[in-house]
Structure 1
């Protein structure tokens, strides 16, 4: 059935939009990890009773994370259009979708990283402190290695979410499979295009989840 649907879809347009989706999701995942991972670590370290306990900093970070997590992605995209245009020089296209994707996903990943780090046995941390380990050594040699499988699982969940966000970004002309589905599947009533894009998005999610699960299993064994 899928092969019959593909006959009515322009292969060049399909490959182009698929490449745009991979580009958006790939770079957004990278920048989300670079922002969300340190943010999650900082939230944990400054929380009450932890290594760098600082209640004001912890409360401010928590409020900021909660605010951005509560905003629907489409509204967030519209809200930060001026910032996006300032950052990348345009408010349309693939590049313009990356800043809102990162800003919308980094707080979510930060919370997942926070949960992963809080599951690390406090006894291991206390033992490291008693042996004279510095805060940096505890972070890099105790917290992150112990929480690595859970962090990888969190990044996998975030990446899957970014696939969905990238499809929604098509509403504002950001390109990708979502844009293809809206322009042809919805506006031109071409159901076959809509079905093909949905199948490809679902397949992409399955691949991402499978790779993430394999990595989690690999590092859990270690």
Structure 2
């Protein structure tokens, strides 16, 4: 559930973030209308708490996967939730690239695609890796609520057994597991990002 939602959300999020960064005023491909509409859509989705988003798009989820219960029913809202979040992080990462890099690429006659692929992307790699790492941690948090549509997961285990059945041991084990998982993901992501930034 986490892996599929992260892959799909990352693909959509990178596309959204790239579009936001390139179409902003002064960007490589400035387009005020596209930037404004896309920014509004991203802000609307990001402003909704996950549990509300999950319920609100149940008809859309049912249309896509044929069910509103189970793991696949949770993957759809998880993807919809994480894609705009990653999009904003990607946008910020691309905007961190010094303006001089873009100007130098333009001076060499690079096309908009070449500017993005050969200059912006390599310069922002470390920051993009950190962005995906942060999004992964946020997605783990959201999967706990995915249990409301019968998707299971570690968070659901903590709620069903630890909280509702007053099983302190189950609660402690799941909390420790989540902490270890998040710390591990953050350490790996930070380590990979440092390597790319040194290059």
| Superposed pair shares fold, TM > 0.5 | yes
Moved over 3 A (4+): none
Alignment of 1:184-195 (within 5 A): 184-195=161-172
Matched, 1:135 2:112: yes
Number of equivalenced pairs: 199
The yes-or-no answer on 1:161 pairing with 2:138 is yes
Q: What secondary structure is seen at the aligned counterpart in 2 of 1:40?
A: helix
Unaligned segments of structure 2, at least 5 residues = none
Normalising by structure 1, we get a TM-score of: 0.87
In the alignment, the residues of structure 2 paired with residue 199 and residue 92 of structure 1 have an alpha-carbon distance, to the nearest angstrom, of 28
Residues in 2 aligned to 1:86 and 1:62: alpha-carbon distance in whole angstroms = 26
Gaps of 5+ in 1: 1-23
Post-superposition CA distance 1:67-108 (Å, at most 9, x none): 001000000000011111121122111111111111111111
Structure-1 separation of matches of 2:26 and 2:160? 53
Secondary structure of 2:144's counterpart equals helix
Considering Cα pairs closer than 8 Å and 6+ residues apart, tell me whether 1 or 2 has the greater RCO.
1
Q: Residue by residue, what CA displacement relative to the aligned partner does 1:188-221 show, whole Å, maximum 9, x if unpaired?
A: 1212111111111111111110110111011011
Q: Deviations over 1:123-150 (max 9, x none)?
A: 1111111111111111100001001111
Give the one of 13, 18, 24 matched to 1:41: 18
3-state SS of paired residue (1:104):
helix
Question: Do the aligned partners of 1:170 and 1:177 also contact (CA within 8 Å) in 2?
Answer: no
1:170 is the counterpart of 2:133: no
Q: 1:218 aligns with which of 157, 174, 195?
A: 195
